[in-house]
Amino acid sequence: MTTQAYFRPRSLAEALGLLDEHGPAMLVMAGGTLAMPLINKGVSRPEKVMGLRQAGLDYVRPVDGGVYIGAAAPLSRVRAESGVPLLAEAVKNVAGWAVQNIATAGGNLFAPPPAGDLAVALLALDAQVKLASLKRGERLVPLAEFFTGFLTNCLDPDELLVEIQVPKPAGKSVLLKYGRLYTNTPAIVSVAVRVVTENGRAKDVRIALSAVGPHPFRARQAEAALTGSSLDSSAIAAAASAAAAECEPHTDPIASAEYRRRMTGVFVQRALAQVAA
Amino acid sequence: MASKIVTFTLNGRETEVMVKPLTTLAKALREKLGFTATKCGCYEGNCGSCTVIVNGEPVLSCILPVEEVEGQNVLTLEGITPAEGLHPLQQAFHENFAIQCGFCSPGMLMVSKALLDKNPHPTQAEVAEAISGNLCRCTGYDPIIAAVLQVAAGSNGNQGGSHE
Amino acid sequence: MSDQALNTVGKSELRRDGLSHVTGKTQYVDDIQFPDMLYLKMVRSPLHHARILGIDFSEAEKVPGFVRAFTYKDVPKNLYTILCLIGVGPDEEPVLAEKEVLYKGEQIAAVVAQSEEAAIEAAARVKVDLEELPAVFDVEEALKPGAPILKPWGTNYFVYEGHHCRRVRYGNIEQGFAQADYIVEGCYEPKPIEHAPLETTGCIAKPEANGRITVYTNTQALYFSMDNTALILNVPFNKLHFVGGTVGGGFGGKVDVIVEPIAALAAMHTGHPVKYLYTREEEFHVSSTRVAYRIYFKDGVSKDGHIVARQVTSYADSGAYNRHTPYAVTKHAANISGPYDIPNVHIDAHCVYTNRVPTSAMRGFGVTSASFATELQIDKIARKLGMDPFEIRLINAYRNGDMRPYQKVVGDATLVEVIQAAAGMAHHPLSERFQAMNSWDRANSPARPEPVSAEKRS
């Protein structure tokens, strides 16, 4: 019935060893903001739980103009120390202060939409995630390939998500989150864009969306619509309507699917207009 | 299941508590140690009533396993109440009618204290953001923000009225 | 009055409970603990409308810490209605469901265990065999022939002294419409709202050595709760000692008597203190909400802005049971003509049962929804006539001495002055004639239309 063991490994090696020993029967928890409510309510009754707070994964480390973020880094640390665009703005939109102190960068990637505000920024920044297993070692996966569906991802049962790697960002970027309130509010839509221009033309375009699909994703058709353009208003409008067309919004108590789709177009347009300005 | 003893500093005193695995800090404080000023309005990390300060940072005690505060400094509302009189924030909440049913007040006071400790002169927007994870259903947020700003103004030698 | 020295009026007094609140010393229900306390969790209906074919506790009983389960058979007087204390009847809500459940989340069986975790697990292991029945969620659908019938008396409406709705009759509505220059219709639908108090609903019932039960509760209605609990448990009132008054937010959401009777019953049977505190999820899913209404207006209006006739057909969604809604609908019917002097009024306000969560009191219940609708309606009339929204209200505002449609003479009106003050604060210019109006006479007011004929209220 109640949890029999709560493991608090002191290193990544110890954590991977525990995962290897106990397998999927053991719940892996970072900050616990997703798992603990379910455990408190008795909805989730894991026999064994592993907490990653002490596993040495709470770093935020600048690397070559980019940043490597330990999976268990509290969001408040990411907000204060990331040193790259978008991330502080993304964290600012996650719940309240006390939650930002508990919730982690890695854990946020497992939040069910419309929660999970970090991924949309990381997608626009071309982030990769490092997955590690005791027996098979480490692999790097682009974040865009990490998500596979609603609450599903490419993480194997013997793997931990241990690090998020953000390369040195180029170009201009903007993040806009639209919710009912300014802070501590679930997203109606979150948009992150990053555009690298060359000779006045969009060379590299990232348009990432959250809360309007089963998982955070890059709006590839919107990106294609803008690539090569001079960021004029008609190209931006085309990208915005492509994003509205390719998103897969759902209806929940926050907003209807129809409204989410319309706002996706509006906020992609606004974000791109800010980048072009 | 094996219970274990967790040791931490609670309101300046070394404290031991024997808990089952994954017992939350809120349950340990309220049910094991009798420190009930900390409230739980949801037990799911959404309402902010259970906010306490750990090593200077506000956290939600209802979703934090008490084992995570082993060796750390935990401050609850009991810990900021002086032996005589009130903490300036308590006084300001009282005088500004920043309390009604009183249930959100402990969390509001703790997050406000954490804010003023880090930023003694916040703007109204900074106070609003700091308390944005703490829900109140009675007074509305304006008197609460006014109370925090009044304390901030007081600590600047600017006592009185600047929040209006 | 003006000579009297006032000690408090005009001054801000600090809250009596303020020091206790800011120091965290106020004791709420969840702050109370007893060493041998048991925890009660409820087995609830997963369906909106179903027949109960059987309940199987065998798996629940195996959970370590399980103490006992309760069904309707354990409740001495299982059927009740909260307002029986003011003569409302018949009893129609079960403490625990008997043969049927009428809403998703309805209480079917209570499980008591030595820890909260064990109670949650045991309740989850109770197997309830349900046969799903057709459900109705719309107030007008519920009144149509062929709708699933939810009440033993064969209809889906509360019966007001032999009538299918609460009726108000004043003047002659048909002649009023005939006199009108315009007919303005409108439909308004105030929605249900969850009170969402920060402290969830709950209580602890503790058996005492002298045979009494002490109930620590966060009810807003201490004596209502105690008296209903005594009736349900079939014990004299003096066997119960209710301790309350500290409410972590209520707003009308804590006036229903739901947790106390079953917790007290469990305490009587087990000899232990029993705690029954809603989870946040229960507070949202199964506690009563504000009543939702669908309100149809048909107003006859004269060219000079007088409302000369008002016909309202209103449907209140009571959800599956009465709670406080029959009373709310009476208040609603009385107030739906607004604070306006209308000579011909015809109100039909229905209290309708559906398979939704029961609705009940919330802040001005019955009246808030009426005010919402009447004020939108009068704005609509003002737009139709091209009149100023303040002036049309001043023309129609009731004055002292006016007869209300429910046969009471107005004695304490200050509406004219309030509207004038509001206009001033909003920097909305009023002509001299409107500024000179007052609530005590009709000087400077247009002639008041008289009722067409003074019919007796039916």
Long-range contacts of C234-243 (CB under 8 A, 24+ apart): C234/C76, C234/C77, C238/C212, C239/C211, C239/C212, C239/C213, C240/C212, C240/C213, C240/C215, C240/C264, C241/C208, C241/C212, C241/C213, C241/C214, C241/C215, C242/C214, C242/C215, C242/C217, C243/C214, C243/C215, C243/C216, C243/C217
Q: B: neighbours with 3+ CB pairs under 8 Å?
A: A, C
Residues in chain A with CB shorter than 8 Å from the CB of B129 are 92, 97, 183
pLDDT at C77: 98
What are the structural domain ranges in chain B? 4-76, 88-154
Three-state SS at C114 = coil
**Domains of chain C, residue spans:** 29-133+195-285, 166-193+288-435
Mean pLDDT, chain A, rounded, equals: 96
Q: What is the CATH number of domain B4-76?
A: 3.10.20.30
- Please answer yes or no on whether B65 and A76 come within 8 Å at the CB atom: no
Subunits adjacent to chain A (3 or more Cβ pairs under 8 Å): B, C
User: Which pLDDT score is estimated for A93?
Assistant: 85
Which residues from A are below 8 Å from B when comparing CB atoms?
A: 2-6, 8, 32-33, 36-37, 39-41, 49, 51, 53, 76, 92, 95-99, 101-102, 181, 183-184
Residues of chain C falling short of pLDDT 70: 1-3, 446-458
Quick one: CA torsion of B102, B106, B111, B113, rounded to 10 degrees? 110
> Using the beta-carbon criterion (under 8 Å), do C281 and A42 form an inter-chain contact?
no
**Both structure tokens of A169:** 């960002």
Q: What's the sign of the alpha-carbon dihedral C253, C256, C259, C263?
A: positive
| pLDDT tens digit sequence for A101-115 | 999 999 999 999 999
- Are C117 and A41 an interchain contact pair (Cβ–Cβ within 8 Å)? no
Determine the 3-state secondary structure of A232 from DSSP. coil
Query: What pLDDT is attached to residue C451?
Result: 58
| Among B residues 86-115, those touching chain C with beta carbons less than 8 Å apart | 86, 90-91, 93-95, 97, 99-106, 109
Q: How far apart are CA C458 and CA C126, in angstroms?
A: 51
Domains and CATH numbers, chain A: 5-51 (3.30.43.10), 60-166 (3.30.465.10), 172-276 (3.30.390.50)
Chain C interface includes B36 (CB < 8 A): yes
Query: Which chain B residue lies closest to A51 (C-alpha atoms)?
Result: B68
Rounded to an integer, the average pLDDT of B12-41 is 97
Q: Residues C318-346: pLDDT tens digits?
A: 999 999 999 999 999 999 999 999 999 99
| Banded pLDDT at B164 (limits 50, 70, 90) | very low
Residue C106 near residue C45, CB atoms below 8 Å: yes
B88-154 maps to CATH 1.10.150.120: yes
Given CB atoms, is B20 within the 8 Å cutoff of chain C? Answer: no
Q: Which residues of C touch A42 (CB under 8 A)?
A: 117, 120-121, 124
**Which residue from A2, A4, A33 is facing B63, i.e. has the nearest CB?**
A33
C69 closest CA partner among C56, C54, C53: C56
| Chain C nearest-CA residue for B92 | C22
The CA distance from C358 to the nearest CA of chain B, in Å, is 22
ipTM: 0.94
Q: What is the pLDDT of residue A183?
A: 74
Decide if A1 touches C, using CB distance below 8 A. yes
> Can you identify the CATH homologous superfamily of domain C29-133+195-285?
Aldehyde oxidase/xanthine dehydrogenase, a/b hammerhead (3.90.1170.50)
Minimal Cα distance from A4: which residue of B?
A: B1
Taking the CA of residue A132 and the nearest CA in chain B, the distance in Å comes to 24
CB-based contact C117 A42, cutoff 8 Å: yes
CA proximity to A276, closest of A226, A238, A241: A226
Q: Which residues contact residue B19 at a Cβ distance below 8 angstroms, ignoring those fewer than 6 apart?
A: B3, B4, B6, B27, B28, B32, B66, B67
CA distance to partner chain A, nearest, from residue C417 (Å): 37
Interface-testing mutation among C114, C115, C117, with chain A (most A C-beta atoms within 10 A):
C117
For residues C399 and C366, the answer to whether their CB atoms sit within 8 Å is: no
Q: How far is C219 from chain B (nearest CA, A)?
A: 13
Contact C121 A41 (CB under 8 A): no
pLDDT in tens, C409-458: 999 999 999 999 999 999 999 999 999 999 998 877 766 666 555 443 33
Please tell me the predicted confidence (pLDDT) of residue B163.
Answer: 33
Which chain A residues are closer than 8 Å to C118 by Cβ?
1
Cα C302 from Cα C381, distance rounded (Å): 10
C166-193+288-435 CATH fold: Aldehyde Oxidoreductase; domain 4 (3.30.365)
Side-chain-facing half-sphere of C48: CA atoms under 13 Å: 12
Q: Which residue has the higher pLDDT, A250 or B159?
A: A250
B26, closest residue in chain C (CA to CA): C31
How far apart, in whole angstroms, are the C-alpha atoms of residue A110 and residue A130? 15
Instruction: Return all residues near A27 (Cβ < 8 A) that are at least 6 apart.
Output: A35, A44, A46, A48, A49, A50
Taking only the tens place, the pLDDT of each residue in B47-65 is 999 999 999 999 999 999 9
How close does chain A come to C117, measured CA to CA in Å? Answer: 7
Helix (H) or strand (E) holding A188: strand A187-198
Chain A environment of B112 (Cβ under 8 Å): none
| CA quadruple A92, A96, A100, A105: dihedral sign | negative
Contacts of B128 in chain A (CB under 8 A): 183
Q: Could you give the CA distance from residue C184 to residue A225 in angstroms, rounded to a whole number?
A: 51
Q: Which residue of A has its CA nearest to B25?
A: A36
**Which tokens hold the place of C82?**
């909260």
B106: CB partners within 8 A, 6+ apart: B37, B38, B39, B49, B51, B76, B77, C24
A108 interaction partners in chain B (CB closer than 8 Å)? none
Amino acid at C159: V
Under the banding of pLDDT at 50, 70 and 90, the label for residue B162 is very low
**Alpha-carbon distance C296 to C314, whole Å?**
6
Confidence (pLDDT) at B159: 41
Say if C121 is an interface residue toward chain B (CB within 8 Å). no
Q: Which of C120, C121, C193 to mutate to test the interface with A (most CBs of A within 10 A)?
A: C120
